[in-house]
Amino acid sequence: MPDLDESFLALPRHELAAAALQRAKDLGASFAEFRLERIRSESISLRDGVLENAGDDEDLGLAVRVIHDGTWGFAAAVALTVDSAVQVAEQAVNLAQVSRPINTEPIELADEPVYDDVTWISSYEVDPFNVPRAEKVALLADYSRRLLAADGVTHVTAHVTSVHECKFYANSEGTSYTQQRVRVGPSLQAVAVDAETGRFDTMRTCAPPAGRGWEYLTGTGWDWDTELASIPGWLAEKMAAPSVEPGRYDVVVDPTNLWLTIHESIGHATELDRALGYEANYAGTSFATLDQLGTLKYGSPIMHVTGDRTAEHGLSTVGYDDEGVAGQQWDLVKDGILVGYQVDRRMAKVNEDVLGTPRSNGCAYADSSGHIPIQRMANVSLQPAPDGPSTEELISRVKNGIYIVGDKSWSIDMQRYNFQFTGQRFFKITDGKLDGQLRDVAYQATTTEFWGSMEAVGGPQTYLLGGALNCGKAQPSQSGAVTHGCPSALFRDVNILNTTQEAGR
């Protein structure tokens, strides 16, 4: 396991926190918290094996949030001095005082144990920022050339994003922690163009972003050699494939596709701020309202979905959230019934009686020191069946259907209810066997209809962590990284659209 970054530890984090928290207390704050945060991010892109752009960015600053007279106040700065920390605390208290006349809901926080000067580091081996950029470019160029050497591949794009996040947190209750997280997001896409007709199509790698280091790009956690060798053939088959006949089909959805459906129709829908109507401006609210907790039939009885801040290599995995709450796992949907939400300390306290628990499940996060923490998504995952079938066995149960692999485009309404999703590859299933690829496929349903049609989930051998680095939420917008684990799953009688026909309407 890597050590905490010495250059971050050298910053005067304890001195700055002590000054800020003491000043907030002196000014009458009933609660105060301090964050010192440094986020390094790097982006590298190649086109046809040639470097197109590369950028390295660093965000470093401090922030103070207070509760004063029952009202939130927040301020941030980039100067890392005691005077700056004191001034930021004063600004946060002043903002709370100014806001107090319009606050109709006094802020109270759910209790949380005190964690005294603890540390946590995510699970990775090689810090990508310790790898020379030339070495990273050379690897992406090699992967690109492998694809370009294949017949039928016209162009190739390659991209990788790397993030190294260091955070020190302290609050007036006595909790303090230092936390370090690393994540990477690689992608390669091959393009085929028919020179005679001008028709083109693409095929992208299915390797998800992961809470890993550079070792992920060299084979730890993903078989790049096999996938890169397969993509040209898959792409050629896709170019020659017939267009799907729209209608009702049984579908087997691979975890490389299903993670995104989970994200949009379960992950966002079970964020309590959406269900309460607090988050309405950006990407909508939720149909899964609080009055339906314990009664809403979200899906079939085999549906078990958890929220999790502890999954190894998860993008939303933390030791502690931005309110000093330890990472944990809990149920969101159990036996097909809505049984939980993702909450922060304020929402946990206000809704304690309905939620049935007096504790936050650690879902507060700010994407930089310059932003206030908001309720953000945990690793929301569909659990496999302990002795469940393989993907091949699920396919064997289908007489006339489609096997869907890889994510692509999606659309969902403002209450996380009506949706449609496409993918990278679609294979016709005939009498329990794959029968060539199809084109122009999208599956459409409502959230409860779709998950209610789930007849079987695969076993642990089919389970995969998918995810995204750029989940957007809030105004001003914040971006969060989140993982969704799931097995392969079988759904009956799903509505399949022909995207080419739909586009012409």
Helix (H, G, I), strand (E, B) or coil at 424: coil
Cis ω before 389 (30° cut-off from 0): no
Angle, helix 13-26 to helix 82-99, in steps of 10 degrees = 40
Statement: residue 198 has pLDDT above 90: no
Quick one: three-class SS letters along 6-40?
A: HHHHCCCHHHHHHHHHHHHHHCCCCEEEEEEEEEE
User: In this structure, how many other beta carbons lie within 10 angstroms of the beta carbon of residue 386?
Assistant: 7
Residue range 30-74, pLDDT digits in tens = 999 999 999 999 999 999 999 999 999 999 999 999 999 999 999
- Whether 123 is covered by a domain: the verdict is yes
Q: Are residues 370 and 233 in the same domain?
A: no
Cα–Cα distance between 395 and 431 in angstroms, integer? 9
Contact 381, 305 (CB under 8 A): yes
Coil vs helix vs strand at 82: helix
Encode pLDDT of 141-175 as tens digits: 999 999 999 999 999 999 999 999 999 999 999 99
Q: CATH number, domain at 186? A: 3.30.2290.10
pLDDT of 387-398, one tens digit each? 999 999 999 999
Q: Are residues 487 and 338 in the same domain?
A: yes
Q: The pTM is what?
A: 0.97
Spatial contact of 259 and 486, defined as CB atoms under 8 Å apart: yes
Are 208 and 279 part of one and the same domain?
A: no
Same structural domain for residues 212 and 256? no
CA 408 – CA 189 distance, rounded (Å): 12
Q: 273 and 225, same structural domain? A: no
Q: How many domains does the chain have?
A: 2
Give the separation between CA 398 and CA 249, rounded to whole angstroms.
9
Whether pLDDT at 505 is above 90: no
119 and 254 assigned to the same domain:
no
Whether 202 is covered by a domain: the verdict is yes
- Convert the pLDDT of each residue in 173-183 to its tens digit: 999 999 999 99
Q: Are 409 and 480 found together in one domain?
A: yes
Q: Are residues 252 and 225 in the same domain?
A: no
**Residue 1: inside a domain, yes or no?**
no
CA distance 419 to 407: 14
Best CA proximity match to 171, nearest among 68, 318, 24: 24
Among candidate residues 240, 270, 303, the one where a domain is terminated: 240
* 230 and 251 co-located in one domain: no
At which of 209, 240, 271 does a domain end?
240
Domain holding 496, by residue range, is: 247-503
Mean pLDDT over residues 470-496, rounded?
A: 96
Cα–Cα distance measured from residue 300 to residue 71, given in angstroms and rounded to the nearest whole number: 42
The verdict on 415 and 346 lying in the same domain is yes
Same domain, 210 and 313: no
Domain annotation covers residue 386: yes
Q: Let me know whether 254 and 231 are in one domain.
A: no
Last residue of a domain, one of 185, 216, 240: 240
pLDDT tens digits along 294-351: 999 999 999 999 999 999 999 999 999 999 999 999 999 999 999 999 999 999 999 9
